[in-house]
Amino acid sequence: GENVEQHPSTLSVQEGDSAVIKCTYSDSASNYFPWYKQELGKRPQLIIDIRSNVGEKKDQRIAVTLNKTAKHFSLHITETQPEDSAVYFCAASIGNTGNQFYFGTGTSLTVIP
Amino acid sequence: GAVVSQHPSRVICKSGTSVKIECRSLDFQATTMFWYRQFPKQSLMLMATSNEGSKATYEQGVEKDKFLINHASLTLSTLTVTSAHPEDSSFYICSAGISNTGELFFGEGSRLTVL
């Protein structure tokens, strides 16, 4: 089955610095890679996603890159703010069907003011 | 975006009782919904896939008699934790997706505490 690895598990950055979270996957049929942000006790919220026909996508301070050959994708947050502090999960679709995903183990990001 | 609502958000029950959690897709129909369990500071663990009009598909290690799933309509799936015990205490989250886009939307989560 799919195996999604996520690193690092915890990350602390100074406000204004950049944060990078990396994920690798094993299923070459995966074609959709969303990233979720989860604040304590709340639901995961989709923050950005990328499909396998695209190498990079950017939305304001957030960007995601995908390397299909190497089977890894990364989340980049620039100019971090304290409100970016949360747990971030990457996910990879199980093949190219439906809405089933394998989730990464999560990265707890702390932005220090 | 699409909305998925989950109820109740918090429930406290005595050991041995059963608890039902509802997951509703409010503005779209979902033939498939997913149930997850999340321990503190850990990732989402897929428990089962709920299929409208048919039996749920459980992940390995998840007891189907313990966690009953019913998906009677295109907008509602329920998870019943039967004969709950303290080790069942956890954060349970459902999700549903729009199949033609692959996007997944999560419910608010339900925190179960079994005394």
pLDDT in tens for each of the 113 residues of chain A?
Answer: 567 999 999 999 999 999 999 999 998 888 899 999 999 888 899 999 999 888 999 999 999 999 999 999 999 999 999 999 999 999 998 876 667 788 898 999 999 99
**Cβ–Cβ below 8 Å for B106 and A43:** yes
| B97 contacts: CB under 8 Å, gap ≥ 6 | A98, A99, B30, B32, B103, B104, B105
- For CA atoms B45, B47, B48, B50, give the dihedral sign: negative
- Could you report how far apart the first and last alpha carbons of chain B are, in Å? 37
Asked if B21 and B79 touch (Cβ cutoff 8 Å), the reply is yes
Chain B neighbors of A89, CB-CB under 8 A: 43-44
Instruction: Tell whether A103 is within 8 A of chain B (Cβ).
Output: yes
| B63 contacts: CB under 8 Å, gap ≥ 6 | none
User: Distance, in angstroms, between A98 CA and closest chain B CA?
Assistant: 5
pLDDT at site B11: 96
CA separation for the pair A16, A113 (Å, rounded): 9
Average confidence score pLDDT of chain B: 90
Candidates A43, A45, A105; nearest CB to B43: A105
What residues of B are in the A interface, CB distance below 8 Å? 1, 6, 32, 34, 41-44, 46, 49, 91, 93, 95-99, 102-109, 111
pLDDT band at B99 (very low <50, low <70, confident <90, very high): low
Burial letters B89-106, b for 16+ CB under 10 A, else e: bbbbbbbbbbeeebbbbb
